[in-house]
Amino acid sequence: MAQFVEDHEKEVANLIEKYPIDEAMSLAVGGAYHEIGVIEADILRYSGLKDGMSLIDLGCGSGRLASVVGRSMKIEYTGIDIVQSLLDYARTKSPSDYKFLVHRALSIPTADNICDFLCAFSVFTHLLHAETYIYLQDIKRTLKPGGKLVFSFLEFRSDSHWSVFEGIVEAHRRRSSPLLITFIERSVIDIWCQKLGYEMEGYISDTEVRWNGKPLGQSVAMLRKP
């Protein structure tokens, strides 16, 4: 079992043990369950997601995005995650026709050229660069021509992300074992686009999208398959 799978399973199990289920499922995806779901849905609409399209939600977690788009859009939705208990909860918050899959490999378990959009919010922030690159390769296979990949990331150029890095440093000073948190610079994403044949649609700073004053907390990249 990959280390990131084991780490996340342990984290979710600990939360379920300590908190009521709704609170545990919110904390498992970083808190602000509804607010962040609204922001993510707004980003996807801004990027071009419309009724009648298909969306794969990689790292869908406990369903914060699914719960919002399920009430506001008519799309074909598939949520993928590595933790079964998160998927079980997501189903209770989503339309009955939404699909949820547990999948722990660095790939997308679908056929080629099948989806209009794939999003990965707070996914690549917990992976090594090599693991993210492998995902990006397979995501391109999954997207239809003209399909889009939208993902969030942490970057040092953002002042609001620095506190995340300080937390990582402090955890290592205490010799604790926090979940892996990875920063990805825009220059790296630009190179990945060139190597993999994506077109860069653009970036959104974490300060540009808010709901009731709540920011997403990460920047966003929008890539397109030619």
Q: Looking at residue 134, which CATH number applies to its domain?
A: 3.40.50.150
Question: Using an 8 Å Cβ cutoff, are 50 and 148 in contact?
Answer: no
Q: What is the DSSP letter of 105?
A: S
* Helix 64-72 with 33-47: angle, nearest 10 deg: 60
- Find tokens 């590595």 and name the residue: 82
The tens digit of pLDDT for each residue in 79-92 reads: 999 999 999 999 99
Question: Using an 8 Å Cβ cutoff, are 109 and 131 in contact?
Answer: no
Q: What is the pLDDT of residue 1?
A: 47
| SS3 state of residue 96 | coil
> What's the CA gap between 159 and 155, in Å, rounded?
9
Question: Using an 8 Å Cβ cutoff, are 156 and 162 in contact?
Answer: yes
**Which domain, by its residues, includes 98?**
3-224
CA-to-CA dists, residue 181 to 19, 37, 110, 133, 198, angstroms: 24, 21, 27, 16, 25
Q: What is the pLDDT of residue 11?
A: 86
**pTM summary value:** 0.92
Q: Is 198 exposed, middle or buried (0-12, 13-18, 19+ CB in 10 A)?
A: buried
| Low pLDDT (below 50) residues in the chain | 1
C-beta neighbour count of 218 within 10 angstroms: 24
> What's the CA gap between 104 and 82, in Å, rounded?
5
DSSP string, 31-51: S-HHHHHHHHHHHHHHHT--T
Q: What is the pLDDT of residue 211?
A: 64
Spatial CA neighbour of 209 closest among 219, 224, 199, 198: 219
- Find tokens 């990875």 and name the residue: 182
Q: What is the pLDDT of residue 46?
A: 94
- Count Cα neighbours of 25 within 13 Å in the Cβ-side half-sphere: 22
| SS3 state of residue 58 | strand
Q: What is the pLDDT of residue 99?
A: 98
Q: What is the DSSP letter of 113?
A: S
C-beta neighbour count of 182 within 10 angstroms: 15
Number of domains in the chain: 1
Six token digits for residue 169: 């440093």
